[in-house]
Structure 1
């Protein structure tokens, strides 16, 4: 299986965050679409995404 491409592969609510996760423009577009135009990344949110804790 090829690694998930955070820059180009389609993202959905079911997409699992992998070890190769990156805060790409593709991710930002997805989160703005899902959360609204006011969505902004901040350091605690980015750390939460990468730490793997639910």
Structure 2
């Protein structure tokens, strides 16, 4: 059974698999962990989908790392 990015519960341990989708569920998770300034951009999405195994926790940490000097 494949993961449903629209409705399955998301945690920092959720694996970002080939079937990953930018859904409202993912956006809510990212805003919760990164703050209201969170947004997807092209470079960040290229990193998310670069075929290197990662979790949503890794995704959160990378977004925060990329934006810590901006705020």
TM-score (norm 2): 0.69
More helix, by proportion? 2
| Gap runs ≥5 in structure 1 | none
The structure whose RCO (Cα within 8 Å, separation 6+) is larger is: 2
| Gap runs ≥5 in structure 2 | 55-71
In the comparison of the two structures, how many residue pairs are matched? 53
TM-score (norm 1): 0.88
CA RMSD of aligned residues (A): 1.2
Higher Cα Rg, which structure: 2
